[in-house]
Structure 1
Amino acid sequence: MDPLHDWRLTAEPHYRPQGNEVALYEAAYAARLPVMLKGPTGCGKSRFVEFMAWRLGRPLVTVACNEDMTAADLVGRFLLEPTGTRWQDGPLTLAARHGGICYLDEVVEARQDTTVVIHALTDHRRCLPLDKKGELVRAHPDFQLVISYNPGYQSLMKDLKPSTRQRFTAFDFDYPPPALEAQVLVAESGLDAALAARLVEIAQAARRLKGHGLAEGISTRLLVNAGQLIAHGVAPREAARMAMVCPITDDADIRESLDHAIDAVLG
């Protein structure tokens, strides 16, 4: 039985390259270098990793990091069963042992004493000590570690230590250029090109408010949500408000400004 069967992608994820990131990632994987993806929420970081895992034919073990996550959640723990105790590999150990790509999404949300367990996997050693089990897992030749985070949310309390950062190669991601983002929206939601372009125009207006009342702009993900609502019969202006404005702010003045932008662009 394939221990990574559930983590294998069975269909090609839709991804539109913005530049030469596909070739650069392939080079990083060929060298088995760990990769760090930085960029705003919903700009395509996770989709890119999925696409590259599919393209390389590797299973993708994804972990959504959070502040309650412990090292045991990553590497594994002993489970108590009626017949005794049994060790269960965590997702990081599973990927390292059997040759998957392990993706730690929003890694800065995890405590620094948790993320330090990745250090031995991200240098020349390529190994993972399982202290509780007394085992040293040497990474499978096909294993790679990928992490991501949103620099816009980092703080002194939530940032990667320099000793962690300098173990990775890195990509800076951003929202696609308007024409490419409209193409993504058409492909993901089935909207016609003209309406997709108008929704992107609204998103561009909202992104200009980042730092001026908005913590984060309208993401490509939210654009796709709006497009899918429209495809299911929701009026464009209602879909834009529901999917693109209400999720990102509760401020009445900001909402009014974005509502004006929706009315001006969609008529």
Structure 2
Amino acid sequence: MTVDSLRPPAESGSPAPFYRAVGKEVETFRAAARRGSPVLLKGPTGCGKTRFVEAMAHEFGRELITVAGHEDMTSADLVGRFLLKGGETVWADGPLTRAVREGAICYLDEIVEARQDTTVVIHPLADHRRELPIDRLGITLSAAPGFQLVVSYNPGYQSILKSLKESTRQRFVAITLGFPTADVETDVVAREAGIDESTARSLVALGAAIRGLDGSALNEVASTRILILAGGLVAEGLGLRDAVQSAVVEVLSDDPDVIRALGELADAVLPRP
């Protein structure tokens, strides 16, 4: 389990994470946060779900604790467990318990990757109770002011065996995020990668072309994230076509035929040097 923790701006002094809205997601999140309502983010890989949560946490001045979901994740990974330290048995809070105690935002990324019996632990936190039972300690914690639960998943990637139970889904305010318009995505790629607008627009055009392929054998399409990675290579002096080959074409597939087809598409879309 991977856990990341970001401190609020008052402690870190860090600038606000750059995020360009693609719809009403900011207004919806603000309303949910004011009510303490949990939020479910749906959208393809690399469309900006994590950056969106980071931007909202910064705006509200709350610590953000991020947990990457996986199939081996247990409720103890979220809540906590007893550990042996110096010959003594001590309790160690999990990331979810820390967020509940401290009034932080707990972001469970790709929540459906965890076993369904694990996600049940969030139910009393995601409804009017806002409580976390810790059976091993025999206590129930009430969520501190400011606590908010945010989960995400990619509905286009998950199989029918990996989906949220209705009893879980109906506790959340759902926000669907997608890839932005070409103009917005160009602005994002140019700013994040540190490249000129013309180069960013070429990368975005390639991303759109890959996303529009009919009957594609790709498991994932070209995300805004990998377009930024390609742009970053260009910013470091690599040629545009070489950057696309390394950060886009070779990343999206291992199949030689698919790689060749993507390369031909890149040659057709990108400007000639």
**Band of TM-score, shorter chain:** over 0.9
For each residue in 1:27-64, what CA deviation from the matched residue of structure 2 results, as whole angstroms up to 9, or x when unmatched? 00001100000000000000000000001100001000
Quick check: 1:32 aligned with 2:32? no
Give the equivalent residue in structure 2 for 1:223: 227
Q: CA–CA distance in 1 between the matches of 2:184 and 2:217?
A: 27
Q: CA–CA distance in 2 between the matches of 1:140 and 1:211?
A: 49
Quick check: 1:248 aligned with 2:252? yes
Contact 1:218 1:244 in 2 (8 A): yes
Amino acid at match of 1:113: D
Q: CA–CA distance in 2 between the matches of 1:82 and 1:210?
A: 60
| CA RMSD after TM alignment | 1.4
Contact 1:39 1:45 in 2 (8 A): yes
Q: CA–CA distance in 1 between the matches of 2:228 and 2:211?
A: 16
Superposed displacement of residue 102, structure 1: 0.2
Quick check: 1:236 aligned with 2:240? yes
Runs (4 or more) in structure 1 with deviation over 3 Å come to: none
Q: CA–CA distance in 2 between the matches of 1:121 and 1:211?
A: 42
Q: 2:85 aligns with which of 71, 77, 81?
A: 81
Contact 1:126 1:139 in 2 (8 A): yes
Q: CA–CA distance in 2 between the matches of 1:156 and 1:197?
A: 36
Q: CA–CA distance in 2 between the matches of 1:143 and 1:262?
A: 45
Q: Which moved more, 1:75-84 or 1:204-213?
A: 204-213
Q: CA–CA distance in 2 between the matches of 1:191 and 1:156?
A: 40
Q: CA–CA distance in 2 between the matches of 1:140 and 1:249?
A: 45
Give the equivalent residue in structure 1 for 2:7: 8
TM-score with structure 1 setting the length: 0.95
Give the equivalent residue in structure 2 for 1:266: 271
Superposed displacement of residue 20, structure 1: 2.2
Give the equivalent residue in structure 2 for 1:3: none
Superposed displacement of residue 257, structure 1: 2.3
| Unaligned stretches of 5+ residues in structure 1 | 1-5
* Distance verdict in 2 for CA 1:165–1:87, change over 3 Å: same
Q: CA–CA distance in 2 between the matches of 1:41 and 1:23?
A: 22
Amino acid at match of 1:8: R
Quick check: 1:146 aligned with 2:150? yes
Amino acid at match of 2:128: H
Quick check: 1:161 aligned with 2:160? no
Q: CA–CA distance in 1 between the matches of 2:145 and 2:127?
A: 14
Superposed displacement of residue 211, structure 1: 4.8
Q: Which moved more, 1:247-256 or 1:61-70?
A: 247-256
Contact 1:127 1:138 in 2 (8 A): yes
Quick check: 1:190 aligned with 2:194? yes
TM-score with structure 2 setting the length: 0.93
Amino acid at match of 2:212: R
Give the equivalent residue in structure 1 for 2:48: 44
Contact 1:210 1:216 in 2 (8 A): no
Number of residue pairs the alignment of both structures matches: 263
Q: Secondary structure at the match of 1:153?
A: coil
Quick check: 1:71 aligned with 2:70? no
Amino acid at match of 1:260: E
1:95-174 aligned at under 5 Å gives the runs: 95-174=99-178
Amino acid at match of 2:163: D
| Unaligned stretches of 5+ residues in structure 2 | none
Q: CA–CA distance in 1 between the matches of 2:40 and 2:214?
A: 24
